[in-house]
Amino acid sequence: MENYKLKKLEHFSGREGPLVLIIMDGIGIAEKKDTNAFYLANTPFLDKLQSEKKLYLEIKAHGTAVGLPTDNEMGNSEVGHNAFGAGKIPKQRATLAKEAIESKSLFDSDKWKTFSNIINQNNKKVHLIGLLSDGYVHSHISHLIGILYGAKDSGIKKIRIHTLLDGRDVPPKSALEYINKLENELTKINKSGDFDYRIASGGGRMRVTMDRYNSDWNVVKRGWDAHVCAIPDQFLGYNGFFSSAKEAIEKARTLDPDLTDQYLPSFVIIDENNIPLGKMEDGDGVIYFNYRGDRAIQISRAFDEGTEFKDFEKKCNPNVIYYGLLQYDEKEHIPKRFFIDPPKIDVTFIDFLSTEKIPMFATSETFKIGHLCYFFWGNRDLITKTDYIKKENYDIRVSKSSFNEDIIEIVSFKSELIEKNPKMKVLEIKNELLDAIRSNKYKFLRVNLTNGDMVGHTGNIASAMVAAETVDTCVREIVDLVNKINGIVIVTADHGNLEDMSKEWQTSHTCNPVMFNIIDSQYNNEYTINNEIKEPSLGNVAGTIINLLGYENPNNFMESLIKFKK
């Protein structure tokens, strides 16, 4: 670990108690109207913070302010936690992918040339697996189309596309819009008769392939079965074999009209002889075209580990050449082959606090613990030890990082249960945090309260209101305890979601700002909000935390959101 020393402030040494950072995942600030679940909910404590505006401002959590390609891109938890930790605006994976594909530098690279030459010399297929939408959280349809034309220019004759349907970062029943766009491009490419580019399989992202944090390996298994082995779901009388993706989606919706895209069963496309179009064979090439890492690691492991893979039983196991668009986990080298180097965040404010030997604690549930750690640490896996503990009503994982932090993960239930359980595990998270605060072991603690984002993704406004109310109660309890022991609490969020459900069953993130509020029971006008920052954003939070702990902001960090009185 490099040495990152901080210089103490001359006139402010922090408070006697701890500093606690509360990240209310997926709760932004929007107009007060009947599509705003946060406004409709009974949230007296958070409402009071907003109305008092004592040490309060609204900060940007989307677009270029967090390193995304343009200001049209909504924020997300990966980029938000990257910005929190880095103290600056890193160039995000979405931007790196967009630049490499649009400039064609991807296709001019030695890696691509080696890959395409092997495919062409052996007359093999290329399979493209990824999320088909323009949500810009895990992928973008323009990237897929760019790869198709890059492959065409490289002379690759046969491509099979395995489409993961979104309905989460985009409207919940919009899959056919993206299927139609893709089919139009495939028609153009195939028109000459020299190329054979077709959709081969698919399924909803929360049912097929895109699990994360080892929550449910059956999700990945269903993807493997469909994409690799051409074995689809057997679901409510749906046998899974279809002549087109459109037919598959329409059939699933007929069988279950309430089924949104993210939970659609897997399907396999067959030709006129009932033969699957995209069953993978030895020597084929496979590219996972999502750029974001968390929901790409497990499927990448299934490919990379071959016969050594043990997390589910494979019904087939062809010897393919697998590439990720980017590398998804640098520490574990997942995947082994990739085209674009992942973003580099050289240092986070946690590196500085670790050097100063400030004892730290972090907690969340499974859905967001990786954001609070891996992304917060600058896309580094620094877990050194994990123990599993069974409590009376829930399971936890207790870990340590190489920063000597203590980390508690509450094991989540499955995502399909969230809509009916909008409180999720937030009460357990809150209780673990309160116990950590009472222990007097830690000076800096951080927590991600997951409900706003995960429940917002269900599109159910009534459930989202319960989520907001539960978060409000938890924040109040945390603040009350920290006030009693003369500490400081920062209440903020990583991006918006449940505050804008303006469309029927709106499920996506937003481009709204988020609150930033400091609660300091010992406040004596030593500092004020820094209103001179033109566009305050999540990247300004790191320097603020360092200041509130009694240290000067490092020179390479963005400005602090507070300034001290002379």
Sequence-distant (≥ 6) Cβ neighbours of residue 160 within 8 angstroms: 125, 126, 127, 128, 198, 199, 200, 201, 277, 278
Cα-based distances in Å from 346 to 165, 293, 544: 34, 18, 19
Question: Where are the domain boundaries for CATH 3.40.1450.10 in the chain?
Answer: 94-340
User: What is the CATH code of the structural domain delimited by 19-91+345-520?
Assistant: 3.40.720.10
DSSP 513-545: -EEEEEEETT--SSEEE-TT-SS-BGGGHHHHH
Where on the phi/psi map is residue 475: left (φ > 0), alpha (ψ -120 to 50), or beta? alpha
Closest CA to 453 of 513, 509, 537, 412: 509
What angle is formed at CA 393 by the lines to CA 388 and CA 396, rounded to 5 degrees?
A: 20
pLDDT tens digits, residue range 225-284?
Answer: 999 999 999 876 788 999 999 999 999 999 999 899 999 999 999 999 999 999 999 999
And the tokens for 559? Answer: 């400005």
Tokens 């919940």 -> residue: 172
Distances (CA, A) of 30 to 37, 133, 349, 451, 461: 10, 25, 30, 18, 15
**CATH 3.40.720.10-classified regions of the chain:** 19-91+345-520
Q: What is the pLDDT of residues 435-479, one digit of tens each?
A: 999 999 999 999 999 999 999 888 889 999 999 999 999 999 999
pLDDT at 2 (0 to 100): 60
- The CATH fold of domain 94-340: 3.40.1450
Q: Which residues of the chain have pLDDT under 50?
A: 1, 505
70 Cα distance to chain centroid: 18
Q: Which residues are catalytic?
A: 77
CA 521 to chain centroid, in Å, comes to 34
Contact 261, 204 (CB under 8 A): yes
Residue 239, pLDDT score: 86
pLDDT of residue 18: 98
* Sheet bearing 126-132, strands edge to edge: 241-242, 267-269, 196-204, 158-165, 126-132, 285-288, 321-326, 338-340
Find out whether 7 and 559 touch, Cβ atoms under 8 Å: no
Please report the pLDDT score of residue 169 as a whole number.
Answer: 87
The DSSP result for 219-281, as a single string, is HHHHHHHHHTT-----BTTB--EESSHHHHHHHHHHH-TT--GGGPPPEEEB-TTS-BS----
